[in-house]
Amino acid sequence: MSAGGETTSAVPAAEADGRLPGGSASGASSASSASFASSGSAAAGPAGAAGRHEHSGEGRAWRRRIALVAAPLLMAAAALYGLTTGAVGIPARELYAALAGSGDSAYEQILWNLRIPRVAIGALVGMCLAIAGCLLQGVMRNPLADPGLIGVSSGAGLAAIVIMIIFPQLMPLVPLAAFAGAIGAVFVTYSLAWKGGASAMRLVLSGVAINALIGAVTSAIMLLYSERVQAVLPWLIGGLGGRSWKHLEMMLPYAIVGLALAAFAIKPANVMLLGDDTAKLLGHPVEASRLFLVAVATLLAGTAVSVAGLLGFVGLVVPHIARMIVGTNYAYFLPVSAFGGAFLTVLADTAARSWFDPIELPVGILLAFLGAPFFLYLLRKGGIRSGQPA
């Protein structure tokens, strides 16, 4: 068979193994050369490539199945750990009795008033941030994209700071104000990026400009009211301390709607990975899909930020880990990332409030300590790359 035959058979094998970015011409050429060299003859090339493709495809399928089972189990284990661990440890036998309402009254009070709402909020926040990161990294084809890139974090932060510092009498409205600020900032970002459409590049540049502007306004407010800044710092760092049933009730409807819409985002997200030009050739409504995906990501991220503050790295690191395990097919990538985000947030929050007793460390600090070194490790190892269809 000719060298051209080798190219067409080798490219899918390399893509299935996650090494080629969408089968580019240069990638196809290198894959063909590697296949020819390993086989030793042109005739043996197609058979060797087919064998590697089948082997890598089976390996990817097994990893996906294992991940789809393991991710929710890890989340459940983190939730169980969060319910039993803290300043007052709760034995497993007492946990079940307290959940059933037949255990020690002190344990029941701790569980139902403190730990259950906090663990539930942590799981929802982690899911929302991770899914938002997945969608934004795909739609922008940018491995560094996260909810903060399009103004979600800065908009929510500005709104919260205005309430906390300038209008402290309206403190109960901080979550709603933060949510409105996040939505408003993204709306402005998207409007500025629109010019007969909103390309990924214009969205990124517009987001950078809006973040800089909002950052300047935020700094000015904090400088003018420096004596009140202390009350704002815990929210800016991000944490789940003091969260209760009222916070869960506030975020739950938005989280449910966002998670449901995320299920409908799987198909357009996969198509958008092909790039705008290819998606248009396939007849896909690119601008409508981009707007839908950004809107879903904004809803999810705004919901999380409104309750937990400016948590970082969940929407950035978790999608990378999930992509390394299951690839970029959103049918697997999205649910694994969601459960992974819930697992990481609940586990980190439990560690932050129990490992440093008598101090309760804001979970945002611990996530930064864990996330930054791991992200640098991925960068050094070459594990950070934009998503491609798999």
Render pLDDT for 252-268 as a digit per residue (tens, 0 to 9): 999 999 999 999 999 99
Express each pLDDT in 304-343 by its tens digit.
998 998 888 899 889 989 998 999 899 999 999 999 999 9
Decide if 122 contacts 158 (C-beta within 8 A). Answer: no
Decide if 159 contacts 188 (C-beta within 8 A). Answer: no
CA distance 21 to 27: 8
pTM of the model: 0.81
Decide if 115 contacts 79 (C-beta within 8 A). Answer: no
What burial letters (b/e) apply to 87-102, b meaning 16+ CB within 10 Å? eeebeeebbebbeeee
Q: How far is residue 239 from each of residues 279, 286, 304, 317, measured CA to CA in Å?
A: 40, 37, 11, 18
CA distance 106 to 274: 56
Q: Where are the alpha helices (DSSP H) in the chain?
A: 3-16, 25-39, 45-84, 92-100, 105-110, 116-139, 152-161, 174-193, 200-224, 233-237, 245-264, 266-272, 276-281, 286-308, 314-326, 330-354, 363-381
- Confidence at residue 23, expressed as pLDDT on a 0 to 100 scale: 39
The answer to whether residue 387 scores a pLDDT higher than 70 is no
CA distance 51 to 48: 5
Express each pLDDT in 154-179 by its tens digit.
998 899 899 989 998 888 888 888 89
Number of C-beta neighbours around residue 140 at 10 A = 24
Which domains are seen in the chain, by residue range?
1-60 (no CATH), 85-381 (1.10.3470.10)
Number of C-beta neighbours around residue 44 at 10 A = 15
- Confidence at residue 99, expressed as pLDDT on a 0 to 100 scale: 83
